[in-house]
């Protein structure tokens, strides 16, 4: 699900057609990436390859209470 913030647009839902290939969604620019490509790019520069959002080692991990 992609939320558009305060723009008033309804959330959009997407379905992966190839479930064997993991994908990642950037929380800022809402671009989809292949997980391996995104990890490789973020390990090199520690930022999203498209919008340059700084990414730390906990990006995408669920927090346990």
The Cα–Cα gap between 10 and 12 comes to 6
Give the C-alpha distances (Å, rounded to integers) separating 37 from 6, 22, 42.
Answer: 30, 10, 9
In a domain, 32, yes or no: yes
Helix (H) or strand (E) holding 42: helix 35-45
In a domain, 11, yes or no: no
* Predicted local distance difference test score (pLDDT) of residue 27: 79
In a domain, 64, yes or no: no
Please tell me the total count of domains within the chain.
Answer: 1
**Domain coverage including residue 37:** 23-58
In a domain, 10, yes or no: no
The Cα–Cα gap between 26 and 12 comes to 15
In a domain, 27, yes or no: yes
Tokens at residue 31, please?
């671009």
**Which percentage of the chain shows pLDDT scores above 90?**
5
pTM score, whole prediction: 0.63
The Cα–Cα gap between 7 and 15 comes to 23
């Amino acid at each position: 699900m992609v939320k558009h913030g305060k723009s008033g647009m309804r959330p959009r839902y997407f379905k992966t057609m190839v479930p064997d290939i993991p994908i990642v969604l950037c929380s800022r620019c809402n671009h989809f990436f292949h997980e391996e490509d995104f990890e490789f790019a973020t390990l090199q520069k520690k930022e999203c390859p498209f919008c340059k959002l700084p990414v730390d080692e906990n990006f995408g991990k669920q927090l346990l209470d």
